[in-house]
Homo-oligomer: A and B are copies of this chain.
Amino acid sequence: MAGALVDVKPTPILKEELDIVIPTIRNLDFLEMWRPFFEPYHLIIVQDGDPSRTIKVPDGFDYELYNRNDINRILGPKASCISFKDSACRCFGYLVSKKKYIFTIDDDCFVAKDPSGKEINALEQHIKNLLNPSTPLFFNTLYDPYREGADFVRGYPFSLREGVPTAVSHGLWLNIPDYDAPTQLAKPLERNTRFVDVVLTIPGGTLFPMCGMNLAFNRELIGPAMYFGLMGIREPIGRYGDMWSGWCVKVICDHLGYGVKTGLPYIWHSKASDPIIAFVNLREEYYGIFWQEELNPFFQSAVRTKACATVQKCYIELSKQVKDELGRIDPYFLKLADAMVTWVGAWDELNVKCYLS
């Protein structure tokens, strides 16, 4: 029998299968805190600002570090698709990785504790989420049916109990929630203290705000759509790379039959609640907040009607729709549509082995 009646035991993911991608590290406590969890894996650090600044990685970590000069050297003219001075540059790490899975995390995210006080191994939970199927086609009221002690409830169609492959695992944040700048300004003291012990599949056809702070994905399934767009310096918009990517990823996952999970694991998000930061965020987010009203209906109706069989084909098709339907909002979207094509070209160039195998 399919589904939860089989005891699904995740196997550990090896170093050969997973890379950890981090956009800049300004705080070395970050790596020390994660040392027991990250040391067994390879880190890809993508420096988002001035390439002459050096990041000193403590001993014991296996890592590669890319700054802007490296990005320009490796991608040549295609480097134009990688953001500068915005954590959206992290997607360069997805390009150069050769592993099946990626875990990406921000340097202001620390190890959280569960209600019993035990440190949460975020990476282990992401791996569990990615190795177990998703259930986007019908909602299970006891949440993840593959989890120990849970199953599909009465009324859940048996034909859907095998689930679909999971492409994305979206983790959450204790302490400082991922609010937009207006909400930060309105609620400077709000902290997320509620540990919700749940993982669930975001249903098919439903969009969600994908945050890049604590995120894992199957690069083989969805990598070419994990492009964080054009953000930061030289662009009218910042702090929306993960959102853009999340909307593209979700419609393509829905189209290709892959699942997106959200919930556990939590990390401890420590960003200071400084009103100055909120004002800077507000300036950077302004167009994101403004445009997202039009992006929602756009993505609600995007791609799905087209018969595209690979992530790359879906993504190129989506870039055409961005040009045709969003270009009228602002010329930025014409440039972004071109950058999407450049990104897929860079992906195919650096990942040529995938197609030969």
- A residues sitting closer than 8 Å to B (CB atoms) are 1, 5, 138-143, 149-160, 170, 172, 177-180, 183, 186-187, 190-198, 202-211, 239-240, 242-243, 246, 262, 285, 288-289, 292-293, 296
- Those 7 A-B pairs whose CB atoms lie nearest each other, nearest first: A155-B209, A139-B208, A203-B206, A155-B243, A154-B180, A205-B205, A157-B296
* Contact B209–A156 (Cβ < 8 Å): yes
* Contact B177–A142 (Cβ < 8 Å): yes
| In-complex Cβ contact of A211 among B139, B150, B151, B153 (8 A) | B153
Given A197-B194, A203-B203, A206-B204: A296 touches B160 (CB 8 Å cut-off): yes
* Contact A183–B289 (Cβ < 8 Å): no
Q: How far apart sit A151 and B242, CA to CA, in the bound complex (Å)?
A: 19
* Contact B190–A154 (Cβ < 8 Å): no
* Contact B1–A155 (Cβ < 8 Å): no
Oligomeric state, in copies: 2
* Contact B211–A158 (Cβ < 8 Å): no
Closest-by-CB residue of B relative to A155 is: B209
Q: How far apart sit A208 and B145, CA to CA, in the bound complex (Å)?
A: 13
Tell me the minimal C-beta distance from A257 to chain B in angstroms: 15
Residues of B within 8 A of A207 (CB): 138-139
Residues of B within 8 A of A183 (CB): 5, 151-152, 154
Tell me the minimal C-beta distance from A204 to chain B in angstroms: 7
Given A194-B197, A240-B155, A296-B160: A209 touches B141 (CB 8 Å cut-off): yes
Tell me the minimal C-beta distance from A130 to chain B in angstroms: 17
* Contact B293–A192 (Cβ < 8 Å): no
* Contact A154–B138 (Cβ < 8 Å): no
Closest-by-CB residue of B relative to A263 is: B141
Residues of B within 8 A of A205 (CB): 203-206
Residues of B within 8 A of A246 (CB): 155
Tell me the minimal C-beta distance from A4 to chain B in angstroms: 8
| In-complex Cβ contact of A194 among B150, B179, B193 (8 A) | B150
Tell me the minimal C-beta distance from A317 to chain B in angstroms: 22
Residues of B within 8 A of A139 (CB): 202-203, 206-209, 262
| In-complex Cβ contact of A180 among B155, B197, B202 (8 A) | B155
Q: A139-B203, A155-B180, A155-B246 are in contact. List 18 more A-B contacts (CB 8 A).
A: A1-B186, A139-B207, A140-B208, A140-B209, A141-B208, A142-B192, A149-B190, A151-B187, A151-B190, A154-B179, A154-B183, A154-B209, A154-B211, A154-B239, A159-B293, A160-B296, A198-B198, A203-B205
